[in-house]
Amino acid sequence: MAVKRSQSASRVLSIFELVSAHQPIGVSALAKLLDDDRSAVQRAVATLADAGWIRLAPEPPVRWELSAHIFTMAHLPDSMTDLRQRARPVLESLREQTGETVFLAIPDQSRFVIIESADSLHTLRMALRVGQVIGPRESATGRAFLPYLDAQRQAAMLGHAPDAKDLTEFAATRERGYGLSAGDVMPGATNLAAAIFGANAEPIAALVVSGPSDRLTPGRHDEIGELVSSHAAALSRSGSIVRPERAVAAE
């Protein structure tokens, strides 16, 4: 039997996400963004404030921002916390070897979220932040991760069944051992990524090198891609997983 959804709970969650994205923000602006009744939005804001999730911004006019309460709840599952801790020296090592920004991303429903990063020391670099969202389509992150999901989960992340271009990219990832996006998401930016696998040989995260295309030139793709793949395999729990269909036992 289908379970009836709570419209008010959905509104509260949507408002919390909007405050996070646009803080400080007032009730009228929230209502406009949601295309919702101002009184209903006001009640939801009051609910969040009473629960301690948001607070009044210090400067007038009346606007809302996240409170420090978010930090008491912002803990990843144990397995992801462990991965994040293990990944930090790997990210720094890969940054030193490539000279570029390196980050770790995990899936979150139909998107990926950066949970750790090591910024390039170059003045011109890709500036990324923990919590930044990455779409699955066209991104190196998605192209590294999705080939190792079943068709149903691929469609759930993409919002549709993989098309011919997607399938071509997935096949290229499996053949090379890394996903590539050269200017597909952002002109002038190149990203190379490899999947990290859990104990059950399913992908749990992606390791990504990101930098300007004039430094990450096509002639360096295989070199950087192999580095990313080997570092991702070192973080994987199920052996050497550069290409799962050709995996070898862990030493």
Confidence (pLDDT) at 71: 58
> Average model confidence (pLDDT) for the chain?
86
| Over residues 126-134, mean pLDDT | 83
Q: Which domain holds residue 153?
A: 78-246
Among the listed ranges 7-11, 17-21, 201-205, 225-229, which one has the minimum average pLDDT value?
A: 7-11
What CATH number is attached to the domain comprising 132? Answer: 3.30.450.40
Q: For residue 192, tell me if it sits in a domain.
A: yes
Q: How far apart are CA 198 and CA 218, in angstroms?
A: 30
Say which residue, 40 or 199, is predicted with more confidence: 40
What CATH number is attached to the domain comprising 51? Answer: 1.10.10.10
Number of domains, the chain: 2
Q: For residue 208, tell me if it sits in a domain.
A: yes
Same domain, 50 and 83: no
User: Rounded to a whole number, what is the distance in angstroms from the first to the last CA of the chain?
Assistant: 49
Same domain, 67 and 86: no
Could you report the per-residue pLDDT of 221-237, keeping only the tens digit for each? Answer: 999 999 999 999 999 97
Task: For residue 135, report the phi and psi dihedrals to the nearest 5 degrees.
Answer: -75, 155
Q: How far apart are CA 249 and CA 192, in angstroms?
A: 25
Same domain, 33 and 12: yes
Q: For residue 1, tell me if it sits in a domain.
A: no
Same domain, 118 and 162: yes
Say which residue, 246 or 55, is predicted with more confidence: 55
pLDDT at position 238 over 50 = yes
Q: For residue 17, tell me if it sits in a domain.
A: yes
| Over residues 75-97, mean pLDDT | 81
Same domain, 208 and 241: yes
Q: For residue 239, tell me if it sits in a domain.
A: yes
Q: For residue 132, tell me if it sits in a domain.
A: yes
Out of 71, 92, 122, a domain closes at 71
Alpha helices, DSSP H, located in 78-163: 78-98, 140-145, 151-158
Say which residue, 137 or 80, is predicted with more confidence: 137
Task: For residue 114, report the phi and psi dihedrals to the nearest 5 degrees.
Answer: -75, 125
Q: For residue 251, tell me if it sits in a domain.
A: no
Residue from 240, 221, 222, 219 nearest 231 by CA: 240
pLDDT at position 247 over 80 = no
| Over residues 238-249, mean pLDDT | 40
pLDDT at position 241 over 50 = no
